[in-house]
Amino acid sequence: MKTTVFLFFLTVSLMAGCTQPQNRLTEEEHRDGWQLLFDGSSTNGWHMFNDSGEVTGWTVEDQCLVALGKGGDIGGDIVSERQFQNFELKWDWKIEAQGNSGVMYHVIEDKKFGAPYLTGPEYQMIDDFEFPQELADWQLTGADYAMHIADPEKKIIKKAGEWNTSRIVFDNGNVAHWLNGVKIVEFEAWTDKWFELKNSGKWENAPEYGLAQKGKFCLQDHGSKTWFRNIKVKELPDKPKSFGLFNGENLHGWTEFGNEKWYVEEGAIIGENGPEKEYGYLATRRYFDDFDLTFEFKQVKDGNSGLFFRSVLEGTKITGWQVEIAPPGKDSGGVYESYGRGWLIQIPEEKEDLLNYGEWNNLRIRLEGSRVTTWLNGEQMADLEDEKIGRAQGRIALQIHSDSNVKIMFRDLKLQEL
């Protein structure tokens, strides 16, 4: 009799599947600031990557958000409407036999990125047991895909068709992956070790991978039916830091774009044209969003340069905004868009004589959300609000202008995050 009763309740439990109440916040979760990202009945709050139209290839069934397996390496993924910076994300999931999927974060939507994985790190979800191809450690469930492996001694994973619970914590660069209640991955983003991994493996030719400090969540359809439920997020506070962008000795932390000359001499970064006299950029290897930056510059020759912010580079093609550094009478301290609109704000004529050509000048740039304010030698030069700037992310970059005879020096680059 006891055996019969047990089997009855077991059968009812298995048949229920997703039919038990799901996608709800407990009173404790409400108090702690958790939010639901899936309401249990619709795809509200999600859209196709790089497409604001109708969600296709996904459905809602039995209180689960389901990828139907119609996607591939590119196409089929959905992203959250909202962006998140520091967060704790948790969700339940299961996958069909031999299936492959994942959850990404800090994804940037832009037509220049053909897929979410080109910018967003991924928590891997895959059938570890029956996947039809041999898997490397960095491809197994729970891994920071193609970067950090999940600890095999700690990992507890259910078979395909059974529910797992996962968690990602991104706390001001400290990252942890959890699987079924156990921490299996932990690392620091944007350190020397992180960049070594990024530049020596799968992401070597994906220059913007993992650099964004905020972005969308992405649920992946990689050609396998996958079920998601109880997708919940809690935002964590920002902890701004101070950075010495230049160590005074070498170009550690910077990346050169183009064939012009960048080197260090007497505690200063020096940029000058090479024989080709083309554009050249020296960019931070990581992104910076909101900041207050001060530095000194000296125009030794010509002086046609600038400091770019929230910028993305493809070779020497740059997408972003420039605080102008130019010869006398050419709007040093003004703000210029490198594509599309050109000048956003030029400086008043009476302020042109504030530039000390051939001597050290102090430039300060404060960037907060959509507002940019600049000062040259203590005098405010520009102050503007721009929605497009407010939406952007990217690197800081120093410029050498083309078709010139530039030699310019930079020193004491100090940045305070806001």
| Amino acid 15: pLDDT | 41
Q: Report how far Cα 176 is from the mean position of its chain's Cα atoms.
A: 16
Torsional class of 74: left (φ above 0), alpha (ψ -120 to 50), beta (otherwise): beta
Q: Assess contact for 154 and 142: CB atoms under 8 A.
A: no
H or E element in which residue 123 lies: strand 122-126
d(CA 107, CA 114): 12
CATH architecture of the region 242-417? Sandwich (2.60)
| Amino acid 19: pLDDT | 61
Is residue 352 helix, strand or coil?
helix
* Topology of the domain covering 23-235: Jelly Rolls (2.60.120)
Is residue 388 helix, strand or coil?
helix
d(CA 244, CA 230): 42
H or E element in which residue 233 lies: strand 225-235
Low-confidence ranges of the chain (pLDDT < 50): 1-17
| Amino acid 327: pLDDT | 95
Number of residues written out for the chain: 418
| Amino acid 23: pLDDT | 97
The string of DSSP letters for 256-309 reads EESSSEEEEETTEEEEE--TT---EEEEESS---SEEEEEEEEEEES--EEEEE
User: Each residue of 270-296: pLDDT tens digit?
Assistant: 999 988 899 999 999 999 999 999 999
| Amino acid 6: pLDDT | 38
| Among candidate residues 347, 339, 341, the one with its CA nearest the CA of residue 377 | 347
Q: Where are the domains of the chain?
A: 23-235, 242-417
d(CA 121, CA 124): 9
